[in-house]
Amino acid sequence: MTSNEREWLLGGSDAEVSVLLEPRRGHTADEVAQLARERGATEVAVLSSGVVSARGAREKIESLNSVATAHPKATKKMHGPR
C-alpha cells in the first residue's frame, strides 16, 4: 500500500490525496476538472477524454462522486520490513 492509498483509505476527511477521476456516463472530463477546481482541488489536469488527475482533501474529492469515480494514484511505496 502506498502512502497516498493509505491516506485515501484511512485518513481523515481533510487528508490530502492524489487521484485519477473517471467521468461517469453523461459527464465530460472538462466538466469534472472544472467541478474539481470549484471544490478546491489543486494540480487538476485533463489527461485524456476519460481521465482527470487532481489533488485535494478526501472529503472534497468524494463530493465529486455524482459526476466521477475516484481512484487513488499509486505514489511512493511505504517502507516495510526487509
Q: What is the pLDDT of residues 4-62, one digit of tens each?
A: 777 777 777 788 899 999 999 999 999 999 999 999 999 999 999 899 999 999 999 99
Map out the domains of the chain with their CATH numbers. Answer: 3-72 (3.30.70)
Q: How many CA atoms lie within 13 A of 29 on its CB side?
A: 14
Amino acid at 9: L
**∠ CA 65-77-41, rounded to 5°:** 30
Instruction: Dump the DSSP string for 13-62.
Output: TT-EEEEEEEEPTT--HHHHHHHHHHTT-EEEEEEETTEEEEEEEHHHHH
pLDDT of residue 30: 97
pTM of the model: 0.82
Is pLDDT at 78 greater than 70 in this prediction? no
Q: Which three cell numbers mark 41?
A: 482541488
pLDDT of residue 73: 87
